[in-house]
Copies of this chain bind each other. A is one copy, B any other.
């Protein structure tokens, strides 16, 4: 039985198809990278933004990560139970929590950041520095292509 080659030319010309395939590959690799630390793509992203913006609130974090608030709750529950973050009460607003990394969370984040750095370099090893930056810039423009910017009142 000959393994005849299947073509997908009509899909290959779509940016979205290339995006999907590349993302699947990257996601599988980054999850494998983070699994030993008990993290996933989303929980690592959460740690990174908390590390960079200590004291931010959950809704701000959800906004920064472009996810809905309910989805963040589960992620933060997990990180909190494992002692990587704390939800401090905000004195001025008793509804809100101020998110911070614990010392342990900071250490885990540093380890994870190094691992993700290596992962990212590996995934983009076929690109020059210029190509890599151009691609990131292009992706950013795609991300905001259909973001209806409503003018501030």
Contacts and interface: CB of A to CB of B under 8 A. Distances in A.
Please classify the interface of chain A as helix (H, G, I), strand (E, B), loop, or mixed, using the class held by over half of its residues.
helix
12 contacts: A10-B51, A12-B136, A14-B117, A16-B120, A17-B45, A21-B140, A22-B143, A24-B66, A122-B145, A125-B145, A126-B144, A135-B138
Contacts of A141: 126-127
B142 A126 contact: yes
Contacts of A87: none
Interface stretch (A57-65, A77-85, A100-108): A57-65
A16 B34 CA distance: 13
Interface of A: 4, 6-27, 29-30, 41, 45, 48-49, 51-53, 56, 60-61, 63-66, 113, 116-117, 119-120, 122-127, 131-132, 134-136, 138-147
Contacts of A18: 135-136, 139-140, 143
A48 B8 contact: yes
A16 B123 contact: yes
